[in-house]
Amino acid sequence: MMSRQAFLCSLGSLYLFLLFVFLLMDVYARPANNSALKEKPADSKDENEILPPDHLNGVKMEMDGHLNKEFHQEVFLGKDMEEFEEDSEPRKNRKKLMVIFSKVDINNDKKIGAKEMQRWIMEKTAEHFQEAVEENKMHFRAVDPDGDGHVSWDEYKIKFLASKGFNEKEIAEKIRNNEELKIDEETQEVLDNLKDRWYQADNPPPDLLLNEEEFLSFLHPEHSRAMLKFMVKEIIRDLDQDGDKKLTLSEFISLPVGTVENQQAQDIDDDWVKDRRKEFQEVIDANHDGIVTMEELQEYMDPMNEYNALNEAKQMIAVADENQNHHLELEEILKYSEYFTGSKLMDYARNVHEEF
């Protein structure tokens, strides 16, 4: 029978062996490209403040080529979009929607026509523009440490890498001394793309220094015709499979959503393809020749295009125009509230006339 001393000795050896295995597993579990300059993970809010957002309010397509699913709500609600929350009280949302209806109906004839909706869409889009301008002032200050009104690429690069968890002081020193930065492939690829965008936002004469207005174009390309064109080039580059700098329907609907694992995922993919096919054929392909050129996509993406706003107004009316009079009555908007606000109102017609 094993003595108490021998048992404790054996137990200690087992503990040391398990500790060694754990440490070995920890070493091999670490990412291969983990840089010695890395600190703690960055706060996602700080990172988002200086990164060009994928989603642009009031723009019909995301930066990655996906359709903007919230576009109709954004151009109908403007900066008040957050007020219509899924968990908010339906009666309050109904009253807010009635107030909006009265504002859109400028001739007070109790119905909304295409021109009235067009004017409203342009107004709400302008609100998103102004919101981006105001946010840009704060973001610009975050990347302009010396407050000289200009930001160099190196200054931005330091702030960007700091937001990704790198040591800001060490990164700044290495850049100042032209030393090599040990950056993982994924981060380097993002940096390269950002540098291309930075150069595009640098208005003539190019000096690689962005002022506040140029930085706004960097973060929000919808504010600049030149940057809007650059964004369109990027989207076409990502979707164009044969390199002709144009998009066919098959190229436009081939961007994968994800791996289809079950019937529910298949249904999501089918809906996604259906939406993209409809948008391509009915809206983006302006001359209906089966090909979307860079110019067509740029017109489609331009949020301040009045012709697009009128077309959008007509489409929005057609969705809810149950009596086919080419106008929207209050009851129709309330019934289709989810399309206009993202909020589904129950008993939409109850006490409408009393509340209005």
Percent of the chain with pLDDT strictly greater than 90:
63
pLDDT tens digit sequence for 67-109: 999 999 999 999 888 888 766 788 888 999 999 999 999 999 9
DSSP 263-300: HHHHHHHHHHHHHHHHHIIIII-TT-SSEE-HHHHHHH
Confidence band of 342 (pLDDT split at 50, 70, 90): confident
pLDDT tens digit sequence for 200-226: 999 888 888 999 999 999 999 999 999
pLDDT tens digit sequence for 294-333: 999 999 999 999 999 999 999 999 999 999 999 999 999 9
DSSP 306-356: HHHHHHHHHHHHHHH-TT-SSSB-HHHHHHTHHHHHS-PPTTTTTTHHHH-
Q: What is the pLDDT of residue 89?
A: 80
pTM, 2 dp:
0.77
* Residue closest to 334 by CA, chosen among 91, 72, 108, 136: 91
Percent of the chain with pLDDT strictly greater than 70:
79
Q: What is the pLDDT of residue 268?
A: 62
Q: What is the pLDDT of residue 116?
A: 98
Model confidence at 50: pLDDT above 90: no
Q: Are 312 and 318 in contact (CB under 8 A)?
A: no
Q: What is the pLDDT of residue 334?
A: 93
For the chain, what is the mean pLDDT? 83
Model confidence at 1: pLDDT above 50: no
3-state secondary structure (DSSP) of residue 104: helix
pLDDT tens digit sequence for 245-264: 999 999 999 855 554 455 56
Q: What is the pLDDT of residue 22?
A: 42
Q: What is the pLDDT of residue 39?
A: 45
